[in-house]
C-alpha cells in the first residue's frame, strides 16, 4: 500500500486521491475537539453564529491532550474514540470539514455523510500519545478555554503518521481488513 506525504489545507481534491489503507504523513494545521467542544460548535452552527475556526477544508483531531511537561509543546496526545463524536459529525461535514482523526469505527450516518461530501477519516495509533505528541510543533487554544483539555486547539503538526481508515469513496479499512483476513485464512485451510 502507498505512503503519502500531505499538507494542509486538506482540499477536496487532495482527499479524493487518498485510498483506504494508505499510510499518510500529515503536515500543517489541525484543530482539536472532543465531545464538549463539538456540542458548542454545533450550537453555533445551528444558531448561525460564527465558528471559532474556519471549518472549510479543516481537519479535526479527536484528542484531549495532557498538560505539557517543562520544555514540551504539548503532553501526551493520543486519539479519543471517534464514535463519541458521531452524533455531531454529519453537521460538521455539511459545514465543510474535510477530515477527522481518531480511533475506532464510525456509524453508518457518518460514513454516508463522508461519501456524500467527499471526506476522509484517518486513524491515529491508540496508546501512542507520547509518540504522536512528538509530531506536534505548536499548540494554541483558539476556543472554549474553560473546557481545559477539551478546549479547541490549533496544532501545527509535522509528519504525523496516520492511516486512511475510510476514504472519500466510502471504502472502509475495518470492513476491507476483515474481508481480506477471512479470504486469506480460507486459503490457509486448503
Grid coordinates representing 136 are 506536534
**C-alpha–C-alpha distance, residues 107 and 45, integer Å:** 22
DSSP code of 103? Answer: B
Cα separation of 1 and 11, whole Å? 22
Secondary structure tally for the chain: helices H, strands E: 6, 7
Active site residue ranges = 38
Beta-strand (E) ranges in the chain?
3-7, 23-32, 59-61, 99-102, 120-123, 136-143, 152-166
The DSSP code sequence of 83-102 is GGGTTTHHHHHHTT--EEEE
Amino acid at each position: 500500500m502507498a505512503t503519502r506525504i500531505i499538507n494542509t489545507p486538506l482540499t477536496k481534491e487532495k482527499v479524493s486521491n487518498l485510498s483506504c489503507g494508505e499510510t499518510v504523513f500529515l503536515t500543517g494545521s489541525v484543530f482539536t475537539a472532543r465531545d464538549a467542544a463539538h456540542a458548542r460548535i454545533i450550537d453555533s452552527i445551528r444558531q448561525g453564529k460564527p465558528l471559532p475556526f474556519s471549518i472549510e477544508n479543516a481537519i479535526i483531531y479527536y484528542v484531549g491532550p495532557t498538560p505539557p511537561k517543562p520544555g514540551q509543546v504539548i503532553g501526551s496526545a493520543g486519539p479519543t474514540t471517534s464514535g463519541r463524536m458521531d452524533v455531531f459529525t454529519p453537521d460538521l461535514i455539511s459545514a465543510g470539514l474535510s477530515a477527522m482523526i481518531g480511533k475506532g469505527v464510525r456509524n453508518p450516518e457518518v460514513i454516508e455523510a463522508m461519501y456524500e461530501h467527499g471526506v476522509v477519516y484517518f486513524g491515529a495509533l491508540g496508546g501512542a500519545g507520547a509518540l504522536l505528541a512528538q509530531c506536534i510543533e505548536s499548540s494554541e487554544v483558539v476556543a472554549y478555554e474553560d473546557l481545559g483539555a477539551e478546549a479547541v486547539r490549533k496544532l501545527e503538526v509535522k509528519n504525523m503518521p496516520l492511516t486512511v481508515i475510510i476514504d472519500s469513496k466510502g471504502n472502509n479499512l475495518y470492513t476491507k481488513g476483515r474481508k481480506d483476513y477471512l479470504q486469506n485464512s480460507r486459503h490457509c485451510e486448503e
